[in-house]
Amino acid sequence: MSTPPATAISAPGKVFLAGGYLVLDRAYNALVFGLSARIHVLVEDIDTSSGVQLSEIVVQSPQFREATWNYGYRLADEQGGVEVTHLQGSPPATSSRNPFVETALAYALTYIASISEARISPAKVTILADDDYYSQPTQATLVTKDNFTDFNLRFADVHKTGLGSSAALVTAFTGAVLSHYLTPSQFSLTSAEGRTKLHNLAQAAHCAAQGKVGSGFDVAAAVYGSCVYRRFSPSILESTGEPGSAGFLTRLQQLVDSADKWDYEIDPDSATIPSGTALVMCDVDCGSQTVSMVKKVQVWQKADPVGSRALSDELHKRNRALATILESGDLSGVTEAFAAIREKIREMGQKSDVPIEPVEQTELLDTLTKNEGVFGGVVPGAGGYDAIVLLVKNDEATLAALKESLSKISASGTNVKLLKTKGEMEGARTEDGTKYGQWLTNQC
């Protein structure tokens, strides 16, 4: 009897081109683009001996060392949903916890239990990430097989490039688990209803895993791809509660299925990459502590509500001007539009004492935008030292000249390189479960 192919779902990373800290306020919207860099999640049944029943799900990230997590699961009393327990001392499970995996699993299994009476069978879940999510300083130690790199490092020892890996992971993980255990009539990524359910469930799980209610733009991009996004009201998630608490199953099911509970706005049609151009990323191999930066900006906003609102209004106006230019395809004023946004971002950084566009990033952007075919760029999202984004002419000469500039900058001491990923429009999607080759044969 042949083994059925793995259920496979992938979700893209994101680049937050225009919006920055404004996305935290429902008064403003944001322009976010999906990326070709994806996180893939595969789910396979675990074969058990006749008469043996397991309640265990094994999650592995085989591109890294010590990245396997074994979970037990049980249906809690009083409609508490599915409780997930990290099993210690079950080789090769590690002692480190993965809150994003653990929370996404509990939320997905609880939602499944709320709409399906089918038994949740034991499974193995494999997580694979495209290269560009992580900085790769030592190429000589890397091995690539079946299009994915074995980084030969512990997960904790690699630097992220700031492409939204946690949101892409939670989205792909949630979509893969739902697709594996539910019938197409109960959940399908090909339907608008299915995408809405995935979005709502992934938003709830991602916020719970973070320990705070974020703006959600990264999950929106992971589900829908490039879009103009307005955040949901944080109060929507306040009464969800914890997995295992009385009534959690019912509350989560209603949260996911009730469209009128949410007030976000997602418009995929208004996000456009003009023909003949590409959005590319340059990795600075450092990374930023986004949470601490956000807190400092919020302190400034509370201390100077009038001044911060005036600056935010002007920045939003400039963000919308850039979005309009991109949507029209007429790039005659795009360089000036990028410069105008950066001016206000630097002003916000100065007034809040947060390195939103640090001096080093200013110098890097100024240098790179002097290249012919580079229309402009920004330090995306919350800013700091994560990868920068550039809008460039999509041809070999421009990309070659850009790589040459980056090579010269790196030679002077700043480790920076052009990532392979580019902006793209598509969100979460179903993948061919047979294409992952050797990664599916890893022993848990």
Q: For position 1, what pLDDT does the model report?
A: 42
- What pTM did the predictor assign? 0.93
Strands 374-378 and 227-230, by their bridges, are unpaired
Question: Does residue 69 form part of some domain?
Answer: yes
Q: Are 243 and 111 spatial neighbours (Cβ–Cβ below 8 Å)?
A: no
Question: Does residue 1 form part of some domain?
Answer: no
Check pLDDT > 70 for residue 286.
Answer: no
Least confident range from 59-63, 195-199, 320-324, 413-417: namely 413-417
Residues 241 and 283 in one domain: no
Residues 338 and 432 in one domain: no
Check pLDDT > 90 for residue 291.
Answer: no
More confident residue, 188 or 53: 188
**How many angstroms separate the CA atoms of 165 and 11, rounded?**
9
The residue-averaged pLDDT of 13-32 equals 93
Q: For position 74, what pLDDT does the model report?
A: 93
Amino acid at 390: L
Where residue 108 sits, what CATH number does that domain have?
3.30.230.10
Q: For position 138, what pLDDT does the model report?
A: 54
Q: What is the pLDDT of residues 343-382, one digit of tens each?
A: 999 999 999 999 999 999 999 999 999 999 999 999 998 8
Check pLDDT > 60 for residue 443.
Answer: no
Q: Which of 198, 197, 230 is nearest to 216 (CA)?
A: 230
**How many angstroms separate the CA atoms of 20 and 34, rounded?**
16
Amino acid at 240: T
Residues 201 and 69 in one domain: yes
Across 112-136, b (16+ Cβ under 10 Å) vs e yields: bbbbeeeebebbbbbbbbbbbbbbb
Give the chain's domain count.
Answer: 2
Whole domain around residue 242: which residue ranges?
A: 7-47+55-269+427-438
Residues 191 and 136 in one domain: yes
Residues 301 and 238 in one domain: no
Residues 294 and 372 in one domain: yes
Q: For position 307, what pLDDT does the model report?
A: 97
Q: What is the pLDDT of residues 66-75, one digit of tens each?
A: 899 999 999 9
**How many angstroms separate the CA atoms of 280 and 251, rounded?**
41
Residues 247 and 282 in one domain: no
Q: What is the pLDDT of residues 297-334, one digit of tens each?
A: 999 999 999 999 999 999 999 999 999 999 999 999 99
Q: Which of 177, 196, 206 is nearest to 113 (CA)?
A: 177
**How many angstroms separate the CA atoms of 247 and 254, rounded?**
11
Question: Does residue 346 form part of some domain?
Answer: yes
Question: Band of the pLDDT at 53, cuts 50, 70, 90?
Answer: low
Residues 234 and 300 in one domain: no
Question: Does residue 444 form part of some domain?
Answer: no
Residues 289 and 223 in one domain: no
CA angle 442, 170, 202 (to 5 degrees): 145
Quickly tell me which residue has 């418009």 as its tokens: 267
Question: Does residue 292 form part of some domain?
Answer: yes
The residue-averaged pLDDT of 111-123 equals 92
Q: For position 202, what pLDDT does the model report?
A: 98
Residues 13 and 97 in one domain: yes
Check pLDDT > 50 for residue 19.
Answer: yes
Question: Does residue 364 form part of some domain?
Answer: yes
Q: Are 290 and 218 spatial neighbours (Cβ–Cβ below 8 Å)?
A: no
Residues 108 and 217 in one domain: yes
Q: Which of 215, 219, 227 is nearest to 323 (CA)?
A: 227
Question: Band of the pLDDT at 91, cuts 50, 70, 90?
Answer: very low
Q: For position 274, what pLDDT does the model report?
A: 96
3-state secondary structure string across the chain: CCCCCCEEEEEEEEEEEECHHHHHCCCCCEEEEEEEEEEEEEEEECCCCCCCCCCEEEEECCCCECCEEEEEEEECCCCCCEEEEECCCCCCCCCCCCHHHHHHHHHHHHHHHHHCCCCCCCEEEEEEECHHHECCCCHHHCEEECCEEECCCEHHHCCECCCCHHHHHHHHHHHHHHHHHCCCCCCCCCCHHHHHHHHHHHHHHHHHHHCCCCCCHHHHHHHHCCEEEECCCHHHHCCCCCCCCCCHHHHHHHHHHCHHHCCCEEEHHHCCCCCCEEEEEEECCCCCCHHHHHHHHHHHHHHCHHHHHHHHHHHHHHHHHHHHHHHHCCCCCHHHHHHHHHHHHHHHHHHHCCCCCCHHHHHHHHHHCCCCCEEEEECCCCCCCCCEEEEEECCHHHHHHHHHHHHHHHHCCCCCEEEEEEEECCCCEEECCCCCHHHHHCCC
Q: For position 146, what pLDDT does the model report?
A: 75
Kindly report the average pLDDT of the chain as a whole number: 90
Q: For position 357, what pLDDT does the model report?
A: 94
The residue-averaged pLDDT of 170-188 equals 97
Check pLDDT > 70 for residue 235.
Answer: yes
Least confident range from 37-51, 196-210, 277-291, 369-383: namely 277-291
Where residue 293 sits, what CATH number does that domain have?
3.30.70.890
Question: Does residue 2 form part of some domain?
Answer: no
Residues 284 and 217 in one domain: no
Question: Does residue 140 form part of some domain?
Answer: yes
